[in-house]
């Protein structure tokens, strides 16, 4: 989807690398749970908003929950120092909730 929306003709837009390649290129990465990485080349896009909306719609289609105008007020970690919960405040209506997820993304 990224390749289609960015309309890149003369630029490699992305490629996938194995766990070993990712650790070689980015030795600071934690190897536990790492299965690989995707490299995206940043370039001028025709419509960045369109890309963001497409990514959000795709995530929601696959059972993700999306939110906007929210602020993380606190992060909780487990005994292994792994993030397990974010306390989030909706800045429009001042409602608060806890968010737990297996995967996270920040845009």
Rounded to whole angstroms, how far apart are CA atoms 65 and 69? 14
**Residue pair 86/80 in contact by the 8 Å Cβ criterion:** no
Q: Is the pLDDT of residue 7 over 70?
A: no
State the Cα angle at 37 between 36 and 43, rounded to 5°: 165
Rounded to whole angstroms, how far apart are CA atoms 75 and 57? 26
- Per-residue pLDDT at 52: 83
Radius of gyration of the chain (CA): 17
pTM for this predicted structure: 0.44
pLDDT average, residue stretch 20-46: 83
- Chain centre distance of CA 29: 16
**Residue pair 65/86 in contact by the 8 Å Cβ criterion:** no
- Per-residue pLDDT at 78: 86
- Per-residue pLDDT at 19: 93
Mean pLDDT is lowest, of 29-38, 43-52, 74-83, 90-99, for 43-52
pLDDT digits (tens, 9 = 90+) for 57-103: 988 998 888 888 999 999 998 888 888 889 999 999 989 999 887 76
**Residue pair 28/21 in contact by the 8 Å Cβ criterion:** no
């Amino acid at each position: 989807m990224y390749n289609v929306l960015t309309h890149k003709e003369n630029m490699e837009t992305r490629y996938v690398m194995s766990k070993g390649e990712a650790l070689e290129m980015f030795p600071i990465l934690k190897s536990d749970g790492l299965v690989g990485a995707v490299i995206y080349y940043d370039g001028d896009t025709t419509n960045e908003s369109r890309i963001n909306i497409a990514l959000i719609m795709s995530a929601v289609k696959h059972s993700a929950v999306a939110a906007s105008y929210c602020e993380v007020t606190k992060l909780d970690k487990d005994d292994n120092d792994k993030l397990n919960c974010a306390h989030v405040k909706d800045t429009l209506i001042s409602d608060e909730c806890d968010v737990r997820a297996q995967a996270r993304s920040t845009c």
